[in-house]
Structure 1
Amino acid sequence: MPERNVYTWNAIVSGCVKGGNLEDAQNLFVKMPERNSVSWNTMISALVRSGSDQKALNLYSRMNSEGFESTHFTFASVLSACGNLLFVEHGRCCHGLVIKVGIDCNKYVENAVVGMYAKCGCMGEAVRAFDQMSQPNEVSFTSMIGGLAQTEHVDEALRMFSKMHRKGIRIDPVAFSSILGVCARGEAGEPKGSDEKCEFPSYRYGQQVHGLTSKFGCEGDIHVGNSLIDMYAKHGNMETAEMVFANLPEVNVCSWNVLIAGYGQEGQSGKALELLQRMQSHGFEPDEVTYVSMLGACVNSGDIETGREMFDRIESPIVSAWNAVLSGYSQKGQHEEAVDFFRRMQFQNVRPDRTTLASILSSCAGMGILLLWFYFFNKGVMTKSS
């Protein structure tokens, strides 16, 4: 082009962003001879969508220092970044600016404010922001459901979904997956089992939500399907979980993992192992979550040897995987193996948590090794609060 102005530069940067070429977009943005608010908003929004939230906030800071005025697009992206990073103080400052410039009634900004507080677990502020919305939509309702679930307000999350349905707000697969995740948690101390045995609200509610997914044509969505499998598996209804799995038009590794984890929770290591073999025969490659689920199944059924085999297949086991094996050794009275395994954990620089310490102390007691407890304490592995 013989002449390029800010509009043509913005067009090519936006084109790169839409084409998924974020690096090219960033390089072009740096070379721009002049920029306007659209230029900054395009890049900030692109960085947030790509998961580069800190870079987005840094760019927002530069935008302010260079004197460009923020718009509702800017604030929506920045608030989203604050929520993703759990930067609630930064988010509050941004919320204050939104009110100051008078765009707090913009629906994109309203949703972003609610989402930011909900992600940060500040549900009091999230509820206040939600109640002040003129027309809450599926985005704001889903944010509230997720935030309430995250902060263990299960009943409130279920009521929020009911309110969403009563108001005729469109329920999309994201909302269904979110509320099914709440139903999967249930309440502490609730019984598990088949339909006849389950009388508690979250399970019954989950069954009703299942009916809604069929009514709204979302049952075939893979994310909703996986959430349904997880909900039934968490409540011990493996027959229905298998039925949902079999009726999905397509499955992925997550689908298999959720089903394997369900049988693992029930201590049915044989069934879990059968599923692992079926998974591989269908061309799906197990990942670390698969092996952790298999590990749990083996330990719950008392098959610590197979569990250890599954553990050794994990490339970088997290502390919960170490704990599962350690707990298995301790429960079976294989205390020497537990101590040796704990030493290996220390050599791998994996920091123990309270579950680790409870298991290893149990094995120390079983072997009558009081000095080993003092060794852990003096080395800083344990603290007085532990």
Structure 2
Amino acid sequence: MGIVCSGHDKQLVMLSVEPMLQMQLRMCSSTTTCKKQFQRNNGSSTLLHHIKTACQPGRLKKALRILQFPNNPIDSSAYVSLLQGCIQKRSLSQSKFIHANKNGTEYTADRISANTLVNMYVKCGSLRDARKVFDEMPRRNVRSWTVMIAGYARQGLPKEAVDLFDQMQSSGVQPNQFTFSAVLPACSNLGSQERGLEIHEQIISSGFQCDTIIQTALIDMYAKCGNMVKARELFDGMPQLDVFSWTAMIAGYAQNGQQEEALEIFRQMERAGLKADVKTLASVLPACTNLTALKNGMEVHGVMIRREFQLGVIMESALVDMYGNCGSMEIARKLFNKMPRRDVLSWTVMIKGCAQNGEAWEALKLFEQMEQVGTMPDQKTFTTVLSACANLAAVEKGMDIHEKIARLGLELDVAMVNSLIDMYAKCGRIEKAREMFDEMHERDVTTWTSMISGYAINGRGKEALKLFEEMKQSCISPNHVTMLCVLSACAHAGLVEQGFQYFDCLSKFYHIQPMMEHYCCMVDLLGRAGRLDEAQDFINKMPIKPDATLWTSLLGACAIYNHVELGERLADFLFEMDPHNPSPYVLLSNIYAAAGRWDDTEKIWKMMKEKGVKKTPGCSWIEVNKQVHAFLVQDRSRQ
């Protein structure tokens, strides 16, 4: 039966006491009377019982009032009960209150109490206080060291964790399985596979190599250090796999860019009859996002719904990102609008989805809404919204964002400067782009590619190629996007022979397998030069099957040079390949119009009407006072 000691609100602390004491305390009319009655009737054993009962979830504040009773020192067992209550609540202020109200008893001499006190500070996020108690302990056992090592590892201080692990062994205390599982994540975060290997050898010599928790920690360590072969070897050798083991393997593949393998392990896990938890699904979802595997992503989302997981803002944002990356903006928008709470990540992934799915205008509107609700953008947000400015050629808005970044004092990381270079280049401010490029102390492949692309799209092909030669001298290898920009520069500059030389270098020197985009660039190169027969011959000799985009590129060249006969053949072929694509109809109509064949032009438009093919209306953007306005053909709404 419970009773409440009375204070100002007659609600001090819930106690479970003997019937006589219950009756006496109910009669207390003031705090002072209550304390006197409590002290007169309460021995230390009863006090411990009261504290333990009061430390039940949700009643910690009431238990803490007992410490205010004078001349009632509590023993270590009661002290540990109070500390455990604070650990459950993760309350630093209450933790410090208990530590400060020991009623004259020194508990650092008691290892159980001291270990719990260190653990309490670690769990409440105060490593400084935890380390102070740890250093004051006259004697430390393996648990003392392990709690402190785990605290450093979890708080993002891996070097301190590993150093403490070394100090522990120097002091003569040998690690146990919990110590090993605590220090291995620190090796992961340091990216130190060499140190991880040393600890792995210690684990084997200590006889803990068959422990499932340690094996999972080793898989995670090797995966985060990029050694998926060793991680898979350990995984395949485990006699018993649990959810955590599968999750570590899935996350490892996803983090190392092996998305297909991550999905395959997830499927094997499901077939093995293990139910994925939230962490598993959080690990497999990025693989779906990076592979633009919408079907798999929807399956993962379905599992979350069926099992009624409480997702939280991070997982909800990951779902928005997945749908946006897979081009399913309608679902992404619905999820975003239903989110009860949005943080900077939520806004950023939604803005990114719009920007990369041709909704740059919508991306800028979302950015403005984000600022209006008081959410502060971070580097990733600015990087994303700058790409939207680039796609709209909204230079005033881009410059405004650049100024905002400077005002906020945000560090211009490489990704953000790359976005600024891309924005200025696509907005025609190529000199400003080059100025930012020259000021960079560190450049990656994207930096060089953005600048080369900028020169190419601004009709300065020779400067683009000159910069590419400088890139090679800097020992940074081009990727497939870089080579796409180089080939595009050759096409815009009319450098056919040089373009073929670079194309031949793709596989010979850069180990890049030519993709459809590279072949399309070569067709465009020949087409712009008027060498249409060579372009057609190039397509026929391709090792991969040409798609509609490539044939349409050649048809576009026929429109430029008014090659009616070849244009008709290509258009008829494209009508069969993709009957609802308006581009071939429009291009053939233009070819007929240029040749003065107006009847044939009319037939094409009639054919489009009969098939239900609609030409996408032209759209233009203008920027007025840093606001972007869109105009469609025959749009009279702004008159």
Instruction: Say yes or no: does 1:92 pair with 2:183.
Output: no
Contact 1:298 1:306 in 2 (8 A): yes
The letter for the 1-side match of 2:382 is: Y
Instruction: Say yes or no: does 1:34 pair with 2:125.
Output: no
The letter for the 1-side match of 2:229 is: G
What TM-score, normalized to structure 1?
A: 0.86
Q: Which residue of 1 aligns with 2:153?
A: 48
Instruction: Say yes or no: does 1:112 pair with 2:217.
Output: yes
Aligned residues: 365
Post-superposition offset of 1:155: 1.6
1:258-315, Cα deviation, whole Å (9 max, x unpaired) = 0001111124222012212222333423233222211111112332332232233222
Separation of aligned partners in 1, 2:265 and 2:306: 20
1:198-232, Cα deviation, whole Å (9 max, x unpaired) = xxxx2211111121111111374322211111011
The letter for the 1-side match of 2:356 is: Q
Q: Tell me which of 310, 318, 324 is aligned to 2:419.
A: 324
Between 263-272 and 298-307, the greater mean CA deviation after superposition:
298-307
Q: Tell me which of 266, 285, 302 is aligned to 2:393.
A: 302
Q: Which residue of 2 aligns with 1:268?
A: 359
Post-superposition offset of 1:15: 2.9
- SS at 2:241's partner residue? coil
Q: Which residue of 2 aligns with 1:169?
A: 274
Post-superposition offset of 1:109: 0.9
Quick one: higher RCO (CA 8 Å, sep 6+), 1 or 2?
Answer: 1
Q: Tell me which of 317, 339, 346 is aligned to 1:248.
A: 339
Q: Which residue of 2 aligns with 1:211?
A: 302
The letter for the 2-side match of 1:224 is: M
Q: Which residue of 1 aligns with 2:451?
A: 360
Separation of aligned partners in 1, 2:443 and 2:472: 7
Instruction: Say yes or no: does 1:153 pair with 2:244.
Output: no
Instruction: Say yes or no: does 1:222 pair with 2:222.
Output: no
Distance 1:14 1:320, change over 3 A: closer
Distance 1:150 1:15, change over 3 A: closer
Separation of aligned partners in 2, 1:280 and 1:360: 30
Contact 2:444 2:476 in 1 (8 A): no
CA RMSD of aligned residues (A): 2.7
The letter for the 2-side match of 1:265 is: Q
Q: Which residue of 2 aligns with 1:341?
A: 436
Contact 1:352 1:381 in 2 (8 A): no
Alignment gaps of 5+ in structure 2: 1-104, 478-639
Post-superposition offset of 1:40: 0.9
Distance 1:16 1:342, change over 3 A: closer
- SS at 2:151's partner residue? helix
Between 68-77 and 324-333, the greater mean CA deviation after superposition:
324-333
Post-superposition offset of 1:361: 4.7
Percentage of pairs with the same residue: 34
1:16-37, Cα deviation, whole Å (9 max, x unpaired) = 2233322111012112212111
Q: Which has the larger radius of gyration?
A: 2
Post-superposition offset of 1:46: 1.1
Distance 1:240 1:361, change over 3 A: closer
Separation of aligned partners in 2, 1:204 and 1:6: 54
Distance 1:364 1:282, change over 3 A: closer
Distance 1:37 1:290, change over 3 A: same
Where does 1:64-83 land on structure 2 (aligned, <5 Å)? Answer: 64-83=169-188
Instruction: Say yes or no: does 1:137 pair with 2:232.
Output: no
Between 213-222 and 26-35, the greater mean CA deviation after superposition:
213-222
Distance 1:363 1:289, change over 3 A: closer
Post-superposition offset of 1:176: 1.4
Post-superposition offset of 1:357: 2.6
1:344-366, Cα deviation, whole Å (9 max, x unpaired) = xx1xx542223323443566685
Q: Which residue of 2 aligns with 1:281?
A: 372
1:105-164, Cα deviation, whole Å (9 max, x unpaired) = 222212111111111121111111112223322222111111111222222111111122
Distance 1:185 1:329, change over 3 A: same
Q: Which residue of 1 aligns with 2:113?
A: 8
Contact 2:425 2:455 in 1 (8 A): no
Post-superposition offset of 1:61: 0.5
Separation of aligned partners in 1, 2:310 and 2:110: 49
The letter for the 1-side match of 2:377 is: P
Q: Which residue of 1 aligns with 2:46?
A: none
Distance 1:267 1:59, change over 3 A: same
Contact 1:319 1:350 in 2 (8 A): no
Distance 1:254 1:360, change over 3 A: closer
Contact 1:37 1:70 in 2 (8 A): yes
- SS at 1:94's partner residue? helix
Alignment gaps of 5+ in structure 1: 188-201
Separation of aligned partners in 1, 2:272 and 2:453: 54
Distance 1:240 1:36, change over 3 A: same
Post-superposition offset of 1:41: 0.9
Contact 2:222 2:228 in 1 (8 A): yes
Separation of aligned partners in 1, 2:476 and 2:124: 53
